[in-house]
Structure 1
Amino acid sequence: MPVSTQFYINGHWVDPSQPNDHPVINPSNEEVCATISLGSEADTNAAVAAAKAAFDGWAATQVADRIAALERLRDVYKKRSDEMAEAISTEMGAPIDLARQQQVGAGIWHLDGTLNAARSFAWDHPLGDHASSERILYEPVGVCALITPWNWPMNQIVLKCAPALVTGNTMVLKPSEIAPLSGLLFAEMMDEADLPPGVFNLVNGDGPGVGSTLSAHPDVDMVSFTGSTRAGRLISIAAADTIKRVSLELGGKGANIIFADADEKAVKSGVIRCFRNTGQSCNAPTRMLVERSRYEQAVEIAEATAKATDVGPASEEGRHIGPAVSETQFNKIQDLIQKGIDEGARLVAGGTGRPGHLNRGYYVRPTVFADVTPDMTIYREEIFGPVLSILPFEDEAHAVQMANDTPYGLTNYVQTSDREKLRRVARKLRSGMVEGNGTGFGQGSPFGGFKQSGNGREGGAFGLHEFLEVKAVSGWG
């Protein structure tokens, strides 16, 4: 990896305009594992200028050439996947097996999904038989600012960079300053993929610095952001003056509705899914709604599953969960667990503090609350940790009402052996995604939410549309 304090601008690794060192902390042991530099307005301006200068040339390339560039990137990414897994595991605490299989694997999955979508995409076509001389053209938006989070680094970086690249845009990537090593390695992969200078640029920095400058920059045509709803709101405000396109993938508070006729493994699977990635997923099923007749049994199963969940260092192989990403995140989770206790939820597993065998690192006890009510903080706020809330419901209408009782609308989950019931409930749930009976979404499925979970869609052809303008031309002939 190049010097970690450098940025990638206009095809070269360059020093920051002024030093502003920032330590990267390994959350497994609380030790500094690298040092980056936080960029300034001057660094951001240089990256945007490089992207703007490269845009006309890259936008004019043939689609086949852009697909070939993305194929080269895929080959480099696959070749260096072990390095990427190590970087992700070190910087944000994903256990190494999870980092290899799911964190890095998500990048391959979305690279392939973008390539498949681009190969079959109708880049221009007639409006229809009624207007055969009118042509619809899809053209790149322009210079895109891509601001990505720490929790699934390659999932989000690839979901933005791959479609931006293949649709002919140029870009400036700002990865999370909490987990920037994977982004730096990705920039090195982009360099190895032999793109024209300026097509891809990377500047490290924080939200108030680089993020705000990108969001308000007059030469940035689009901001694609994944992160908290609070930050998404600020980005939208900053972007408003220039009326740039803003695509947001934000928070969630997913409900997992378990009907009495659900598979007997539904509760255990739901707990495991909630705790995956240490609960640090915007689409985690953190509210488990259980039909009354199975409620107490579900609480017992959830308790046993939580107590059987191992916690340990990210460097160790196995199916355990790792630490929270940072001291700030650890403290937030601890405060919310305490809030659940103080507000009267029944603590059946976990609680505050580290697991007993760990005294260093940002480790959280896998926690389950029962008898949670909709007025409680843990019911309403996104915790972003291994904390599950369980509530009973009386009937189908009650389950839907509770699931929709949130400002978020990213992913909900339904467990039932009655297919018609699943379909009815799925139509009533106000979320961008509904997962039925543990069936995963297909490659190219649209990822995104309703309400305060955001306003964009990523993945496959839906992700291509995010980075394209639509132009109508009459008299085409």
Structure 2
Amino acid sequence: MTEHITTVAGVAVDTRHWIGGERVASVETFTDVSPIDGSTLGEISRGTATEAEAAVAAARAAFPAWAATPRAERARILHAIADGVDKRIEDLANVETLDNGALLRSHRCGVMPRVAHNFRFFADWLLKLEHQDFATRGHTNHVSWDPAGPCVLITPWNAPLMLATWKVAPALAAGNTVILKPAEWSPLTASLLADIAAEAGLPAGVLNVVQGYGAEVGNPLVSHPDVRRISFTGSVPTARHIARAAAANLTPLSLELGGKSPLLVFADADLDLAVDLAVEQYDNAGQVCLAATRILVEETVSDEFTRRFVEKASRLRQGDPRDEATDLGPNIHPRQLEKIDGFVRRALGDGARAVIGGKRMDGLYYEPTLLTDVAQDSEIVQEEIFGPVLTLQIFGDEEEAVRLANDTRFGLAATLVTGDHERAERVTARLVAGTAWVNCFFVRDLRAPFGGSRHSGVGREGGTWSFDFYCDVKNTVTAPNGWHNHG
């Protein structure tokens, strides 16, 4: 068994799949590498259609009993999972930092506590989930949420465990069984989650974790006729592929995809606040789907905004994400770094100017970059980069600001900085975005709907919206005075 255990930051991680309550090894493996220093973290079981079929079969077999488990008991087990996460925050934080390169201090203080909160929130929401009965010509309408069945959840590498549990927790709370397929660039904490869930008493087969590449194990999962829901966070091209596969079985989809979000700074804004919010977009080395990578500034304050931005951004510290003083860690993978650098080199070749940054560094690090003199229809403005690269454009009035903000194929989020409450209401009403922030950024509440418009996604999750997706919502209509006492 020790051949399937890798030790990462002093933590033992099983590199096999978790299927039907047991560890399952594949014939082939793939190598998991740390973006911090290129060291090998482990040889991970590489799933195929065989493991996909086994995981779906396990989820299908476990579904009836889990769906029939009373709400209070499901909620109790989810709270027990949260307790397990809390006990292992340090382990989870250290492993995930080595696996995806994000800041250790963020994992320890923010991300992993949020993982536990995901389970607690949906456990509690389940217990109060209800719709008030209503009458139709004397008949009673009663709305209920029935578990749908096995769910395939495919998660990204930029916040692996937090984004996985954002899906896993409501799916389990709803009474479904789950096949979790983590990103192959950051699979380790999903394996630890399987251990934590088993220790918390989650029955075998209710949560299954299958590792590997999309083409080899993802395809047979999303095209399986016994899968009742698919939730995916990732790129638009992959989402199109998943949607085509799901269409054959009419499997409902929830897709949270890319973004090219704007940050609008008006002349009446608190410029210090605006600069703080703009520099915050470099968080996680720019590998955040919600990041406001297009900074739009009113012309009369653009010079002052740029001066303050450069001053603040120049103080950011890049380095080892395990160092508490580090602000930006590495990008996830050589392929991702090459993609980032390619975007910037082409933009500079087309006449853009790098106010700061503009080049790669040693290892997988890329300088925090701000590009100006960019055309609205240019690739650098229109396409998601997913790295520490921002653009700055100038607008003359509110109308132009809204036009520029909405002029991409995306619509995930938008941020607005202004001192005028009426302007904030006017502009946010016109912005195409699933989430709009006014004078703040990244304030998230699980009670709120989350998702994107246009090519940024399909559907909404969060609060009751998650249960609407992960359940078959039923309306039962009962006639008045229709009962006969046979006693």
TM-score tier after normalising by the smaller chain length: over 0.9
Distance 2:77 2:13 in 1: 25
Match of 1:384 in 2: 386
Distance 2:237 2:111 in 1: 25
- 1:9 aligns to 2:19 (yes or no): yes
Distance 2:135 2:386 in 1: 47
DSSP-derived class of the 1:47 partner: helix
Match of 2:8 in 1: none
DSSP-derived class of the 2:331 partner: coil
- 1:118 aligns to 2:131 (yes or no): no
- 1:307 aligns to 2:310 (yes or no): no
Q: Which segments of structure 1 move beyond 4 Å, counting only runs of 4 or more?
A: none
Match of 1:235 in 2: 242
Match of 1:298 in 2: 305
Alpha-carbon shift at residue 268 of structure 1 (Å): 2.1
Distance 2:117 2:66 in 1: 25
- 1:398 aligns to 2:406 (yes or no): no
Match of 1:55 in 2: 63
Distance 1:252 1:345 in 2: 21
Match of 2:371 in 1: 369
Match of 2:444 in 1: 441
Distance 1:315 1:50 in 2: 38
Letter in 1 for 2:389: V
Deviates more, 1:154-163 or 1:384-393: 154-163
DSSP-derived class of the 1:103 partner: helix
Alpha-carbon shift at residue 239 of structure 1 (Å): 0.6
Determine if contact 1:95/1:318 at 8 Å carries over to the other structure.
Answer: no
Distance 1:248 1:273, change over 3 A: same
Alpha-carbon shift at residue 241 of structure 1 (Å): 0.4
Matches within 5 A, 1:389-468: 389-438=391-440, 440-468=443-471
Match of 1:156 in 2: 163
- 1:167 aligns to 2:177 (yes or no): no
Deviations 1:99-151 (A, max 9, x none): 212321331332333233223211x6524364543322211111100000000
Match of 1:94 in 2: 102
Deviations 1:191-236 (A, max 9, x none): 1111111111010011111111111001111110001111111100
Determine if contact 2:86/2:113 at 8 Å carries over to the other structure.
Answer: no
Unaligned runs of at least 5 residues, structure 1 = none
Determine if contact 2:418/2:439 at 8 Å carries over to the other structure.
Answer: yes
Letter in 1 for 2:76: A
DSSP-derived class of the 2:145 partner: strand
Structure number with greater CO (CA < 8 Å, separation at least 6) is 1
Deviations 1:313-352 (A, max 9, x none): 1221224110001111111111111112111111110111
Match of 2:31 in 1: 23
Letter in 1 for 2:116: I
Distance 1:342 1:284 in 2: 25
Distance 1:338 1:302 in 2: 22
Deviations 1:144-165 (A, max 9, x none): 0000000011221111100001
Deviations 1:223-273 (A, max 9, x none): 100011111111001111000011100000010000001112133213322
Number of residue pairs aligned between Structure 1 and Structure 2 = 469
Letter in 1 for 2:20: N
Determine if contact 1:113/1:459 at 8 Å carries over to the other structure.
Answer: no
Deviates more, 1:40-49 or 1:107-116: 107-116
Deviates more, 1:378-387 or 1:460-469: 460-469
RMSD: 1.5
DSSP-derived class of the 1:265 partner: helix
Alpha-carbon shift at residue 464 of structure 1 (Å): 2.1
Distance 1:366 1:267 in 2: 17
Letter in 1 for 2:438: G
- 1:106 aligns to 2:114 (yes or no): yes
Distance 1:420 1:262 in 2: 13
- 1:42 aligns to 2:50 (yes or no): yes
Distance 1:347 1:254 in 2: 20
Match of 2:4 in 1: none
Distance 1:341 1:374 in 2: 15
Distance 2:217 2:333 in 1: 21
Distance 1:154 1:428, change over 3 A: same
DSSP-derived class of the 2:14 partner: coil
Distance 1:345 1:110 in 2: 42
Letter in 2 for 1:52: R
- 1:264 aligns to 2:267 (yes or no): no
Determine if contact 1:41/1:209 at 8 Å carries over to the other structure.
Answer: yes
Alpha-carbon shift at residue 446 of structure 1 (Å): 1.6
TM-score scaled to structure 2, two decimals?
0.93
- 1:273 aligns to 2:280 (yes or no): yes
Match of 1:326 in 2: 333
Distance 1:458 1:186 in 2: 21
DSSP-derived class of the 2:271 partner: coil
Distance 2:59 2:41 in 1: 31
Deviations 1:337-383 (A, max 9, x none): 111211111111011120xxxx3x30111111122221221101100
